Amino acid sequence: MWENEDNFIRFEMPSSTESYWENTIYMGANVVGRFLHSCVHSFEVDIAWLRLERKGNRFTGYVSSDGDNWYSCGWVDMNVEDPMNVGIHALCPISPATSTKFEYVKIYRPNG
């Protein structure tokens, strides 16, 4: 989720084999220019499902290894104006280089 440089939320999955964060997925958020890491889940998977839910100003991240069983990656309260930008961005600033593949993105809106 992207509002601007000072307000965004992202999932991170570091690829470096020398990293403390190897085989982890976590949610990071930049809230008014202050970057926060939330809860970390460690597991080795070839495919990971990621989910970001918004209820009011609370954003909660979830991760799954099968698309059925979800684990919280933490939450953050962020005052974001609508409309906001939601999408995919992948990068690998540290060796070894990796590739990222996304099968699909779904955006659900509450009925009402």
All structural domains of the chain with their residue ranges: 2-77
Q: Which of the four pLDDT bands, split at 50, 70 and 90, describes residue 96?
A: low
Section 63-72 average pLDDT: 89
6 neighbors 30 (Cβ within 8 angstroms) = yes
What distance in Å separates the CA atoms of residue 112 and residue 96, rounded to the nearest whole number?
47
Write 86-89 long-range contacts (CB < 8 A, 24+): 86/1, 86/2, 86/52, 87/2, 89/10
Asked if pLDDT for residue 3 goes beyond 80, the answer is: yes
Section 65-90 average pLDDT: 85
pTM recorded for the entire structure: 0.78
Asked if pLDDT for residue 44 goes beyond 90, the answer is: no
pLDDT for position 36: 79
What distance in Å separates the CA atoms of residue 36 and residue 96, rounded to the nearest whole number?
25
Section 42-49 average pLDDT: 75
Q: Is 56 left (phi over 0), alpha (psi -120 to 50) or beta?
A: left
Q: Which of the four pLDDT bands, split at 50, 70 and 90, describes residue 68?
A: very high
Q: Which of the four pLDDT bands, split at 50, 70 and 90, describes residue 21?
A: low
Please name which of 102, 97, 100 lies closest in space to residue 16, comparing C-alpha atoms: 97
